[in-house]
Structures are given as structure tokens and as C-alpha cells.
Structure 1
Amino acid sequence: MSGFVFSEKPIEIVSGDGVYLTDTNGNDYLDFGASYACTPVGHCHPEVVDAATSQLEELIYVQASYPHAARTALYEQLAETGPVDIDHVWLCNSGTEANEAALKFARSATGREKIIATTQGFHGRTMGALATTWKRKYKKDFEPLAGGVEFVPYGDAEAMREAIDEETAAVILEPLQGEGGINPVPTEYLQTVRVATATNGAAMILDEIQTGLGRTGSMWAAETHNVVPDILTTAKGLGSGLPIGATLCRGWIAESAGDHGSTFSGGPVVSAAAGATLDVIEREGLATNAAKVGAYLREEAERRLGDDIREVRGSGLMIGIEVKRGSNRLLRDLALTHGILALPAGRTVLRLLPPLTVTHEHADEVLDAIEEVIG
């Protein structure tokens, strides 16, 4: 029976190891999608498995009003890992929930309603987060959504400066858009947003659900741009595939965040898995590896694919290859003919989000396959 929401692919996955997945027929696939960046340290990393298994055998669940060692340790890790001065942590179950909390916290702390979001931005599918997501196809069946949201062109510093005023509660944006097509912006743009929000007493929310945890070549994309937001959200790879998200806040936000809660906030098992994931990312220097392999992959894609594509863009191991035809057929052929799993980002962009452990050899294998499929 097909799932109610998801359109299922003709590949049933039964196991994973490192950068590979295996289906019911014993076929191996080089995973360059990582289920939307959810396995940064690779599939079934032994340390993550051990941490989750040990906690599972000891205590599966206790609500967050009761302190627990794994959750407390994760609070401290995220506060230490996050950008300077962002040391208050709210745990939840997904990126959407992390963004939902961020929007609520900003409105409570500022006492204002107006939220500014960007064209092509994607922030989730619950009613508040969905209201800040750009594409109409995600929203049309569920309107009316939460009000008070204004959209401005992504990357247009002047439009952003004009939109932010003393009625603005927050600006929410991605430092590198994922679902919107792997769209980067210059540092000057994000710094303009930072100055304008600070000047007007509004919160700057950086959605690092997809860009964070070493994905773009540093632990947080904010660090690459020398920008410290008021709120930073993370999820996806934080639990190596187990459901967890986090909203990191500056003190002035946390002090007036309002009444918010979640039954499953920071459960012991997912907290243990997330702590182990952060340990592996830092100890193995996976952000640095993402920067090196990602730069190689982008340069080689531009050189080898040349006139057969429109553009290569991205940062670290968050890469978009814009092709001249629809991406769905290319993705199907990559999977079924070459054993390469990738993702779309719109109709014409191949999105590459592999585990941060991939090598130059893996990059070459993927480029060989893309070259053949496009040709």
C-alpha cells in the first residue's frame, strides 16, 4: 500500500553503511542525497548507534521537565557549538518545529507581529512555518495561513532594508537556499539584514536546517559570513536520521520567549544520538572535508559538464547543478542505471547533499554518472 503523503520510489531500502544504502535485491547505492542531508556522519555510524542503543536499553523516554544527562549534555554541546552569544537552546522534533518556535519566540520577545521572509525560501509545512515558505504549491490547499508575513526578493539588500521597520518582529531566511534551488547570497547581503534588524529592534532568524552542522564547509553557514543572528535553527542531520530539531537563541530572545512546549522535546534516545553526531562531526573534521570535497566537486562539474549544463552553485557539500532539461528523468537514470541517489531542487536542479564523509573518489564516481546521463 502506498503512503498517503509520499510518492514512493521503486527502490526498497533495507540497510545502510557509511555513504552506501542497500535495497531488497542486494543492490548498493552511493547516497548523494543523504535523505535531505539527514546523515552527515554516514549511515549507521558506530558511535551514534552505540549511543542510541545504550540509552534505549536504559531509559527510552522522560519528559523534558525532568532533567536527564543526555539532554543536559546536548544543551551544553549546542550552546558551545553555536555561534558566539547564542547559548539558549530549545529542543523539538523537526526543522519545521524549530522554525515554528523561532517565529513564536521572536513575536513574544518583540511584542510585534510582522514577519519578513524571502522569495524562493522554504521553512517548513506547519501553518506558521508554511506561511513563511514562498512557493504557492506548498500552501494553496491549506490557506488561510498565519498572517503578518511579507515577502521580499531573496538577495536584494535594498528591498530588505526598506521592508524592515519598527513594526517588524523578525526576518527569517536561509543563508543558502536549499529547496528553492541551491541559491547563494553574498556576505554583504546577510550583513545588511543583520544591521537592519538590529537597528530596528527586530530578530534575525537564520534557518540552518539544511546548511548547518558542517554542510557548507563550516559548522554553521553564519560563520562563513561573519554574521551572528538572534535565532538559529537546526535539524535534519542533528540526530543522524532520528527526529530532532533545535532552536538556538540569544539571551534577549530567551528571556521573553513566551509560553511554549513540546511533549517529546529532547527525548533521551535522540539526545544521545545527537550528542554522538556532534562529537563525530567535530572530531573527524567533517566540515573541513565538506569544504575540500565540495570545492573539488563543483570545480570538476564545471569543467567536465561544461556546455551541457547551465550552472553549478553552492557551498561545501550543498551543491546544485542546474541542467537544461527536467531533473526527474536524470535522477531516475542516476539511481536505476548507475546506483547514485541524488535529489531535485525545483524542476531543473540536481541537488547533491551527501554524507560529509564522502571522498574525492566518490565525487568522481558521481560526476562520471552525471556526465553519462546528461550526455
Structure 2
Amino acid sequence: MGDLYQRFPVTVAKGEGARVWDEDGKEYIDCMGGYGVALAGHRNPRVVQAIKAQLDRIITVHGSLYNKTRAEFLDRLTGAAPPGLTRVHLNNSGAESVEAAIKFAKRHTGKSGMVAMRGSYHGKTAGALSVTFNPKYKKGFGPMLEGASFSPFGDIDALRDSTGDDTALVIMEPIQGESGIRVAPPGFLQDARRLCDERGIVLIFDEIQCGLGRTGKMWAAEHWETIPDIMCLAKGIAGGIPMGATLTKPEIMASIKKGDHSSTFGGSPLACAAGSAVLQSLSEDGLVSNAETVGSRLHRGLQELQEKHRVISEVRGMGLMAGVELRCGVKDVILEGIKRGVLLLYSGSNILRLLPPLTISEDDIERVLETIDAVLNSVGRDK
């Protein structure tokens, strides 16, 4: 893997629920959560059982053949999806989910213009990168796809000015993850929905990080009672097995002909078995309501820490998706957290990001808050 990743001094050997252990047996509360992949908890019992059972039957079945495990997963997914999103393309990652969404929107509209948000992050493959805002990810990889532009997140007047006759799609995260857990302001998603309807533009919500119960509702856009034309999913959807999904309204998928877009590994029975187990766990094990309840305690505690530590400039997020903007770099904070048994994530150079499994307990959240408090006392006192 070379130097492609920012590495921290922990060698993880085992995990369970919201905890992991290193090779020496030291225990950590995991607020990194595999960048949100450990949504249903490490070694979720339902997921483990489903994977083991599927391994005894068959691992891979191409999409050109039918498979009962895949059909059962699709029934569960469309049953849980926002109303109207009844067609699904199964793929293998968030970036692939976005790539499919871009192609589907262009084919459906016959247009090519793309409008994304400033601060957006949609992946690092060529198409997804074209609608990702941060220039540092694009340097040396151009040219990007033609027709992409960026509008300020939350500014409906600017979005109106950014769209035109050739705009095929508007893509946004209801809560931006990579740019620091930035929540859409009140009314913005509803206004964007109306604008897209007026102009015949496909509205795409990227819920790869903020969906599947993370914010205390099954879908982040539910907080604004807004339904997109296409929704992109991935990360924790299959409990750690690679999977992405692009959900669309029927009329959009009807524009795609056989052979236009496919995936060799997409919809494998192994991933689908795990995906069904995750959806079952979310609905039957109280994970979404836990994200709401425990998430409320997390945000309340972080706001109390903001009042105590001037190094904290802002706290943002919903549910178990939190960003803590600091007036200093986060590297020393993360390293000190590791020493004290808590794995924290970053977003840029000065924002702590917390994406713990939805199984995390309130007691663990209390320990996380106590640890952040102690860490800021240690490394942030002079900031």
C-alpha cells in the first residue's frame, strides 16, 4: 500500500461492536469506524452469521444470472429506501455508485452539465473526482470530465445561477463529510428539489457517509423531508464487505439499455447476504434510534467541551456523525487519543471527525468525551 495512506501507530488485530484491539491486546473505542464502514459494529453477529452461511452455498454469481440472496437483499433495500427509489444498480464502492449516478442522469436527460457543491467529496475515480471540490485531489490527474461546476453549499440563489439548459444533474451530500461535517441549512434541500423539478434536472443525493441510520434517521434527507431522483450508497451497507448501490426512480433506470452499465463483482451473493443482515440489524436491533439517542448525548457533550476549551471553534453534525473544528491541527490530538485508548478521525488539518459504529453505548460516549477533554487539556492548552 506504500505511502498512499496517512498511517497512525496502531496495528488492529480484532474488533467487536464499537471496540477494537491491537496485536498487543490493548483496547480502543473506535470513533473512526473504518471511515463509516463499521456502521453496524465490528463483527456484527447477524452479518457474521449471514456471511458464514453464504460461504457454504456460493460466493459469486454474475448479474447475468438470477440469485435468491441478491433478490432478497434488493427487496429489503427498496423496502427501506425513500419512496419512489425502486430501481437499483449494485456495485462495489461509493465512487462506483457515484459513477453510475452520473451516467444515468446524463442518459436520462440527454444533457451533460454537472453541478456539485463547494466542499463536496464524491470519490477519487475520474467521474466522481470531477464532481469532488478539493483541487488537491485533482492535481496531476486532469483533465476532469467536462461540464462540471461548483456552487456554494446551502446557497439556493447561487445554485439557481449555476444551473442552465445543459444541466443534467445536481449532486450533493445532505451532510458533507470530508469537508468537516457540514449540515445543509434549513430549506436548502427542499429548494434544490423544487429547482431541479422546474428545470428538468436530476437531483442526486450522496448518502454514502450520512445514510443508513447514521444521523438518527434511516436517510439523512429525511430530516428535510426531501427525496432525490438518485441516491448513492456504500460504506457500511454490507457490514465491511465491499458494496455500493445506486438507487433511482423507475423512469431514470428505464433510460439505460442492457449492456450500458454493468459490474463484474456488483451484487455478489456474499455482499448481498451481508447487506441483508445490516438492513435487518438497522431495523430490528434499534441501531437507528440508538444513533439518535446516543448521538444527542455526543453532541451535547461536545458543545459542553466547546464552552470549556477555547481551542474548539465549532461543533457540527447530526446523530453519530460529528465534526469538531479546532483552532489548531488535529494530528497531536489524534495521537494523544490513541495513547488514551480512543481512535479519532480527521477531516482536513484542523477538524476532528467522529463516525463510531451505531452500536456504541452511552457509557462509551461518556468515555470518549472524557478522553477528548483530557486530550485538549494536554495538547490544546496553549492554542
TM-score range, shorter chain: over 0.9
CA contact (8 A) 2:306 2:313 kept: no
Equivalent in the alignment of 1:282: 283
CA contact (8 A) 1:106 1:257 kept: no
Equivalent residues in 2 for 1:305-320, closer than 5 Å: 305-306=306-307, 307-320=310-323
Equivalent in the alignment of 2:155: 156
Equivalent in the alignment of 1:261: 262
Equivalent residues in 2 for 1:95-174, closer than 5 Å: 95-174=94-173
Equivalent in the alignment of 2:354: 352
Give the 3-state SS of the residue equivalent to 2:28 in structure 1: strand
Q: Hey, what's the Cα distance between the residues in 2 that align with 1:100 and 1:308?
A: 39
Q: Hey, what's the Cα distance between the residues in 2 that align with 1:225 and 1:141?
A: 38
Range with bigger deviation, 180-189 or 92-101: 180-189
Equivalent in the alignment of 2:373: 371
Equivalent in the alignment of 2:235: 236
Q: Hey, what's the Cα distance between the residues in 2 that align with 1:233 and 1:257?
A: 17
Q: Could you tell me how far 1:147 is from its partner in structure 2?
A: 0.9
Q: Hey, what's the Cα distance between the residues in 2 that align with 1:241 and 1:4?
A: 23
For residue 53 of structure 1, what is the amino acid of its counterpart? K
Q: Hey, what's the Cα distance between the residues in 2 that align with 1:10 and 1:299?
A: 30
Q: Determine whether 1:332 maps to 2:335.
A: yes
Q: Hey, what's the Cα distance between the residues in 1 that align with 2:283 and 2:56?
A: 26
Q: Hey, what's the Cα distance between the residues in 2 that align with 1:190 and 1:277?
A: 27
Q: Determine whether 1:191 maps to 2:190.
A: yes
CA contact (8 A) 1:166 1:202 kept: no
Q: Percent identity?
A: 40
Deviations 1:97-144 (A, max 9, x none): 000000000000000000000101000010000000000111112111
Equivalent in the alignment of 1:87: 86
Q: Hey, what's the Cα distance between the residues in 1 that align with 2:220 and 2:200?
A: 23
CA contact (8 A) 2:115 2:151 kept: yes
For residue 184 of structure 2, what is the amino acid of its counterpart? V
Q: Could you tell me how far 1:4 is from its partner in structure 2?
A: 4.8
For residue 265 of structure 1, what is the amino acid of its counterpart? G
Q: Hey, what's the Cα distance between the residues in 2 that align with 1:37 and 1:304?
A: 24
Range with bigger deviation, 158-167 or 46-55: 158-167
CA contact (8 A) 1:239 1:274 kept: yes
Deviations 1:186-222 (A, max 9, x none): 2311111101111111100000000000001100011
For residue 74 of structure 1, what is the amino acid of its counterpart? F
For residue 232 of structure 2, what is the amino acid of its counterpart? T
Deviations 1:29-48 (A, max 9, x none): 10011011111111001110
CA contact (8 A) 1:121 1:133 kept: yes
Q: Hey, what's the Cα distance between the residues in 1 that align with 2:7 and 2:330?
A: 17
Q: Hey, what's the Cα distance between the residues in 2 that align with 1:309 and 1:265?
A: 42
Q: Hey, what's the Cα distance between the residues in 1 that align with 2:225 and 2:163?
A: 21
For residue 289 of structure 2, what is the amino acid of its counterpart? T
CA contact (8 A) 1:293 1:363 kept: yes
For residue 38 of structure 1, what is the amino acid of its counterpart? V
For residue 63 of structure 2, what is the amino acid of its counterpart? A
Q: Hey, what's the Cα distance between the residues in 2 that align with 1:16 and 1:303?
A: 30
For residue 312 of structure 1, what is the amino acid of its counterpart? V
Q: Hey, what's the Cα distance between the residues in 2 that align with 1:126 and 1:83?
A: 27
Q: Hey, what's the Cα distance between the residues in 2 that align with 1:281 and 1:3?
A: 36
Equivalent residues in 2 for 1:177-188, closer than 5 Å: 177-188=176-187
Equivalent in the alignment of 1:361: 363
Range with bigger deviation, 279-288 or 94-103: 279-288
For residue 315 of structure 1, what is the amino acid of its counterpart? M
CA contact (8 A) 1:184 1:313 kept: yes
CA contact (8 A) 1:209 1:236 kept: yes
Q: Determine whether 1:211 maps to 2:210.
A: yes
CA contact (8 A) 1:156 1:189 kept: yes
- Over aligned residues, Cα RMSD in angstroms? 1.1
Deviations 1:213-242 (A, max 9, x none): 000110001111100100001100001111
CA contact (8 A) 1:168 1:202 kept: yes
Q: Hey, what's the Cα distance between the residues in 2 that align with 1:8 and 1:330?
A: 15
Q: Could you tell me how far 1:7 is from its partner in structure 2?
A: 3.5
Give the 3-state SS of the residue equivalent to 1:282 in structure 2: helix
For residue 341 of structure 1, what is the amino acid of its counterpart? L
Unaligned runs of 5+ in 2: 378-383
Q: Hey, what's the Cα distance between the residues in 2 that align with 1:179 and 1:208?
A: 13
Deviations 1:298-321 (A, max 9, x none): 111111342331111100100001
Give the 3-state SS of the residue equivalent to 1:84 in structure 2: coil
Q: Could you tell me how far 1:86 is from its partner in structure 2?
A: 0.6
